[in-house]
Homo-oligomer: A and B are copies of this chain.
């Protein structure tokens, strides 16, 4: 059976909805096969004369015609904004291209912005929607597994600064998240694996049973088994919706979703954005965080082994690049979770249970020595 057949085998008519409860900013995450083309997907969105689809050069050619066809009946004008692909373009220059296009097309304050793409497109289009005329409606249409299970849910938007990742942005909730499972058919393997990193992360911080399920069904996910993908995506959205509903603007509770991200952001910034995929850096960062949790006496070594094995089986790196301990520390001190220069790590007390802690520099250095592929002179 080919991957495409596996996905097609799934019941196309089944649509799940997960609600993110945030008072007057509440919204639904719709999950199903073929949602791009279904009229129900767009029902109840704010009325407007214009909409704009923001996408990139990779995903645009695959799906933009279907989305545009669905929107043509709903909006008088459908504008298309195609950006270059990749994390290296998640910056001010690309953001400005969106604003220039919206203004040149005379998009007004009711114009609805659709983000069709992965995490980079969602972050950029979301921040553009948050800031254009001080905020216009916005719909996430995530096309990568990573965006479907993590970045499209919860309203984090933003861009990178040369001095740090996601340093500029807004908490800005979409009107809706449309997760069409069918689009995963065309996702490159490396991107699929990067998405699985965030699935593993979600299980690790919140749900031991889900982690145990992952240990059993990881190969099915890697083979794009439709039922396995549907379950994993649905469970991640449920967990994230529950956390975001309690802590939209990331006090401590939501911060646990950053497991692996302090180390991971340092890897991404240290190598230059785009060298490793975000999910790859998070995969490796989770292994580092597990080792640090163990070194702090919080987590037993068996759990560290289980985590490292799952990350490795997902095809993700378990050893970081040899940036040197000092470079890692300097990069991590710039992390948004740092306070007054003290790095706050998301650590594990168990599989399924996370905590936010500072850690002694010497333990962090020891973990970096263990978990990187060598020390640069």
Taking beta carbons and an 8 Å cutoff, which residues of A are in contact with B? 49-50, 76, 92, 96, 99-100, 103-104, 106, 108-110, 127, 130-135, 156-158, 161, 163-164, 166-171, 249-250, 333-334, 336-341
Contact = CB atoms under 8 A, between A and B. Distances in A.
B131 A168 contact: yes
A96 B167 CA distance: 12
A133 B167 contact: yes
Contacts of A92: 92, 96
Nearest to A132: B168
A338 B167 contact: no
A174 to B, nearest CB: 15
Given A103-B167, A163-B103, A167-B99, A340 B135 contact: no
B99 A161 contact: yes
Contacts of A134: 156-158, 166, 169-171, 249-250, 336
Contact of A334 (B76, B103, B131): B103
Nearest to A96: B92
Contacts of A333: 106
Given A92-B92, A96-B92, A340-B49, A170 B109 contact: no
Number of copies: 2
A341 B337 CA distance: 44
A319 B62 CA distance: 55
Contacts of A338: 108
A169 B131 contact: yes
Given A96-B92, A135-B249, A161-B99, A341 B106 contact: yes
Contacts of A170: 130-131, 134-135, 170
Contacts of A106: 333-334, 341
Contacts of A169: 131, 133-134
A171 B135 contact: yes
A106 B332 CA distance: 11
Given A106-B333, A135-B171, 4 more contacts: A49-B341, A100-B161, A110-B339, A133-B168
A324 B203 CA distance: 63
Nearest to A104: B163
A108 B171 contact: no
Contacts of A50: 340
Given A103-B164, A131-B170, A108 B339 contact: yes
21 contacts: A49-B341, A92-B92, A99-B161, A99-B167, A99-B168, A100-B163, A103-B163, A103-B334, A108-B339, A108-B341, A110-B340, A131-B168, A131-B169, A131-B170, A132-B167, A133-B168, A133-B336, A134-B156, A134-B170, A134-B250, A170-B170
A110 B334 CA distance: 13
